Amino acid sequence: MSLKIATLTAISLLLTLGTASAQQKIIAVDGSSTVFPITEAMAEEFQKANKGIKVTVGIGGTGGGFKKFCRGETDISDASRPIKDSERADCKKNNVDYIELPVALDALTVMVNPKNDWVKEMTVAELKKIWEPEAQGKITNWKQVRDSFPDKPLKLYGAGVDSGTYDYFTAAIVGKEHSSRGDFTASEDDNVLVQGIAGDVNALGFFGLAYYLENTSKLKAVAIKLKVDSKAVMPSVEAAKDGTYQPLSRPIFIYVSRKSAEAKPEVAKFIEFYLDKKNAAKLVKEVGYVPLPDNAYDVFLKRFKERALGTAFHGSKIGVSVEELLKTPLVN
């Protein structure tokens, strides 16, 4: 019996020793599931090149990620929208300074069923007519959207209302962030939307470009006209990059804590790897997103090295071109 007690004591002693001395080189990242594939790809390649440094990536969502980030629990936060004013206040309260770094563009894509032969392009005004809150229960037929459309029921699919994707789409189309009709099939899982639209001739829906590019045989993308007389632009990597796909292309970000960047050399090393234009152009494209132009990565790398703090945004801004991203002054 006393032998057992002795072993138990020894084990608990080792346990405390073990927990006390655990200190590894870990870079903690959490945040948006939209940005996750990019950070995952970066972390994968970075760890291959730098043995001994460990990167962990979570998907707590943009909001959940900022909560942890502003408590100082993570080094980097993935975000599919700019930091909100309330989150800025949180960070300020805990003395967490951050560097805002756009890392890629995402093109929200409006999709219909491939058997739909009446829609090729739509204007922002038509989309607004469909999605605004007043349309609820009223706009239920394709004919109501445009006279030349057939008399068929209109079935809507869209990103879940807690997502940054929904926030941006409503801001860009309806004109007011987080405001739309409520009677559509919403899902946080974009694959559910792909299934829904692929199986319904009368469907119309929206989600990120990556999901369309993987399912081009099951879905048909709709070209977007910013105004009635402007050119209809199909969603594509190129159109998002050169800024012609408007207003549905949006920048996505990472936020780096200044404290981590300065106290942990491995964090700085990871960011320099992330913003290296060769890595970024290759890996961002590989996971289905739109890389920024090369010179943009240079500018943001410089911004990181100079530890330029603060954000260039107040909530989602619509139709930001890469040039604007580069020029907008930062507010701390």
Partner 1 sequence: MSNEHTRIEGETIDERLLVKRANRQDLRFAVIGLCVLIVAMVALLALIADFMLDGVPRINFDFFVNYPSRKPEQAGILSAWVGSTLVMLTTAALAVPIGVAAGVYLEEYARKNWITDIIEINVTNLAGVPSIIYGLLALGLFVQTLRLGQTILVAGLTLALLILPIIIVTTREALRSIPLEIREAAFGLGADRWQAVWMYLLPAARPGILTGTIVGMSRAIGETAPIITIGALTFIAFLPPAPIQLEFPFVNFQWLNSPFTVMPIQMFNWISRPQVGFHVAAAATGVILLAMTLLMNGLAIYIRYRIRRGMK
The CB-of-7 to partner 1 minimum distance in angstroms stands at 11
- Asked whether position 30 contacts partner 1 by CB under 8 A, the answer is yes
With respect to partner 1, which residue has the nearer C-beta, 242 or 276? 276
- Asked whether position 221 contacts partner 1 by CB under 8 A, the answer is no
The CB-of-18 to partner 1 minimum distance in angstroms stands at 3
Give a three-class secondary structure readout of the chain: CHHHHHHHHHHHHHHHHHHHHCCCCEEEEEECCCCHHHHHHHHHHHHHHCCCCEEEECCCHHHHHHHHHHCCCCCEEEECCCCCHHHHHHHHHCCCCEEEEEEEEEEEEEEECCCCCCCCEEEHHHHHHHHCHHHCCCCCEHHHHCCCCCCCECEEEEECCCCHHHHHHHHHHCCCCCCCCCCCEEECCHHHHHHHHHCCCCEEEEEEHHHHHCCCCCCEECEEECCCCCCCECCCHHHHHCCCCCCCEEEEEEEEEHHHHHHCHHHHHHHHHHCCHHHHHHHHHHCCCECCCHHHHHHHHHHHHCCCCEECCCCCCCCCCHHHHHHCCCEC
| Residue 305: C-alpha distances to residues 246, 257, 267 (Å) | 31, 13, 12
- Asked whether position 80 contacts partner 1 by CB under 8 A, the answer is no
- Asked whether position 9 contacts partner 1 by CB under 8 A, the answer is no
Question: What's the rounded Cα separation, in Å, for the pair 219 and 215?
Answer: 6
- Asked whether position 217 contacts partner 1 by CB under 8 A, the answer is no
With respect to partner 1, which residue has the nearer C-beta, 275 or 283? 283
Query: Which range, of 16-24, 108-116, 313-321, 323-331, touches partner 1 by CB under 8 A?
Result: 16-24
With respect to partner 1, which residue has the nearer C-beta, 149 or 211? 211
- Asked whether position 79 contacts partner 1 by CB under 8 A, the answer is no
The CB-of-110 to partner 1 minimum distance in angstroms stands at 16
Residue in this structure with the two tokens 């491995």, named with its chain if needed: 266
Among 2, 4, 19, 147, binds partner 1 (CB under 8 A): 19
Among 90, 97, 177, 214, binds partner 1 (CB under 8 A): 214
- Asked whether position 117 contacts partner 1 by CB under 8 A, the answer is no
The CB-of-170 to partner 1 minimum distance in angstroms stands at 21
- Asked whether position 57 contacts partner 1 by CB under 8 A, the answer is yes
- Asked whether position 26 contacts partner 1 by CB under 8 A, the answer is yes
Q: Distance from first CA to last CA of the chain, Å, rounded?
A: 64
Per-residue x/- track, 160-199, partner 1 (CB under 8 A): ----------------------------xxxx--------
Among 50, 54, 221, 234, binds partner 1 (CB under 8 A): 54
> What is the b/e burial string over 118-143, where b = at least 16 CB atoms within 10 angstroms of the residue's CB?
ebeebbbebbbbbbbeebeeebeebe
Among 41, 124, 145, 312, binds partner 1 (CB under 8 A): 41
Among 32, 35, 60, 62, binds partner 1 (CB under 8 A): 60
Among 114, 184, 279, 287, binds partner 1 (CB under 8 A): 287
- Asked whether position 216 contacts partner 1 by CB under 8 A, the answer is no
What is the binding site for partner 1 (CB under 8 A)? 14-15, 17-19, 21-22, 24, 26, 28, 30, 33, 36-37, 39-41, 43-44, 47, 54-60, 68, 188-191, 208, 210-211, 213-215, 283, 286-288
